[in-house]
Homo-oligomer: A and B are copies of this chain.
Amino acid sequence: MNTSVTSPRRTLSASPFLAAARGERPERLPVWFMRQAGRSLPEYRALRADTSMMQACLDPELTCEITLQPVRRHGVDAAILFSDIVVPLYAAGIGVDIVPGTGPVVASPVRTAADVENLPMLAAAQVAPVTDAVALLLRALGETPLIGFAGAPFTLASYLVEGGPSRNHERTKALMYSAPEVWHALMAHLAQLTATFLEAQVEAGVDAVQLFDSWAGALSERDYRRFVLPHSASVLDRIRDVPRFHFGVGTGSLLGAMAEAGADVIGVDWRTPLDVGSQRAGGLPVQGNLDPAVLFADVDSVAAETRRIVAEGRRAPSHVFNLGHGVLPGTDPDMITRTVDLVHSL
């Protein structure tokens, strides 16, 4: 975590979030929420009324404002750049759109060696709207750290191969098994593209990065190690100046392999207790892991679960409080604010 001379990197030595990411135990337990910027907030829905998701991700002023909203409202200890995991694909010129109610839809699915060869590579300049948003945010955020992020190669590959969101990933897995050389070429391409995207964010000054492998949990550990780990590792190896968070859902049996791929902090979903998750990840600091569905329960239940998780996090080297997955659309934002306040009081 050396700061290079030319980087706008901030020190933020008082940040509890960055201290916990280094494995320290700050006085205040840091907390942020995956998808804290977005659909749960009325001020977000108002801003997005006439704007597509992709427009919002590629308009620096709008991205900055949406990223700031949950920091203002909830007092969380970190902002996460408002974006979508398919943004770097779109920026590279791959035909993909985010369709409301469906998710990312890919114009021409990628299934052959020729398809992979024809994929454009991302140049850092193509994500200038994102890095411009980072620059605006660094000024606006004051002492609050900014987390950059990217989707991991497997999750991106699944969108490209399936042509959109998929429950069973059957075409993706068929490609892995039937044409491993095509699969590895695709994954190597996406790893390069993802690393370029993350490096651009780091160079622009984000204080940490999170690699989201949303769908890694669809894989056995055996398949993750053969088909995914080397490529996620090649992304994470390229990130050296800021702490790296590595997260996926349903990854209870993959935490060791995901830690090996690279992580300073391992994200744990609600199915695995944080102390167990840390052990499986070779003793890493942990992030998580309140079940986002629990935020729909009553105040006392949410508080009890929060306290349990904080206690389990104390048995790991350090802990960044978060959900075990993203904020669900119908979540009451006041429940999030209350939870932040409770975490800070513990």
Q: Name which of A250, A293, A301, A328 has the most chain B CB atoms within 10 A of its CB.
A: A293
From B173, B222, B270, B272, give the contact of A296 (CB < 8 A). B173
Q: Which residue of B lies closest to A220 (CB)?
A: B271
A342 at the interface (CB under 8 A from B): no
From B168, B217, B250, B292, give the contact of A328 (CB < 8 A). B168
Q: Mark A294-338, 1 if CB is under 8 A from B, else 0.
A: 101110011001000000000000000000000010100000000
A105 at the interface (CB under 8 A from B): no
Decide if A328 touches B298 in the complex (CB within 8 Å).
Answer: no
Chain B hits for A6, CB < 8 A = none
How far is the CB of A37 from the nearest CB of chain B, in Å? 19
A69 at the interface (CB under 8 A from B): no
A178 at the interface (CB under 8 A from B): yes
Chain B hits for A171, CB < 8 A = 296
How far is the CB of A175 from the nearest CB of chain B, in Å? 8
Interface residues of A (CB under 8 A from B): 168-174, 176-178, 217, 219-222, 250, 252-253, 270-273, 291-294, 296-298, 301-302, 305, 328, 330
From B168, B178, B221, B250, give the contact of A298 (CB < 8 A). B178
Decide if A296 touches B174 in the complex (CB within 8 Å).
Answer: yes
Contact sample, A vs B, 25 pairs, CB 8 Å cutoff: A168-B292, A168-B328, A169-B293, A170-B296, A170-B328, A170-B330, A171-B296, A172-B293, A173-B294, A173-B296, A174-B294, A174-B296, A174-B297, A176-B297, A177-B294, A177-B297, A177-B298, A178-B301, A220-B270, A220-B272, A220-B273, A221-B271, A250-B250, A252-B252, A253-B271
Q: Which residue of B lies closest to A166 (CB)?
A: B293
How far is the CB of A311 from the nearest CB of chain B, in Å? 13
Chain B hits for A296, CB < 8 A = 170-171, 173-174
Number of copies of this kind of chain in the complex: 2
How far is the CB of A14 from the nearest CB of chain B, in Å? 34
Chain B hits for A220, CB < 8 A = 270-273, 291
Q: Which residue of B lies closest to A174 (CB)?
A: B296
- A292 CA to B271 CA, complexed, in Å: 23
- A198 CA to B244 CA, complexed, in Å: 50
Q: Which residue of B lies closest to A175 (CB)?
A: B297
Decide if A292 touches B170 in the complex (CB within 8 Å).
Answer: yes
Decide if A173 touches B272 in the complex (CB within 8 Å).
Answer: no
Chain B hits for A170, CB < 8 A = 292-293, 296, 328, 330
- A178 CA to B173 CA, complexed, in Å: 40
How far is the CB of A215 from the nearest CB of chain B, in Å? 12
How far is the CB of A322 from the nearest CB of chain B, in Å? 16
How far is the CB of A241 from the nearest CB of chain B, in Å? 35
How far is the CB of A296 from the nearest CB of chain B, in Å? 4
Decide if A293 touches B173 in the complex (CB within 8 Å).
Answer: yes
How far is the CB of A326 from the nearest CB of chain B, in Å? 10
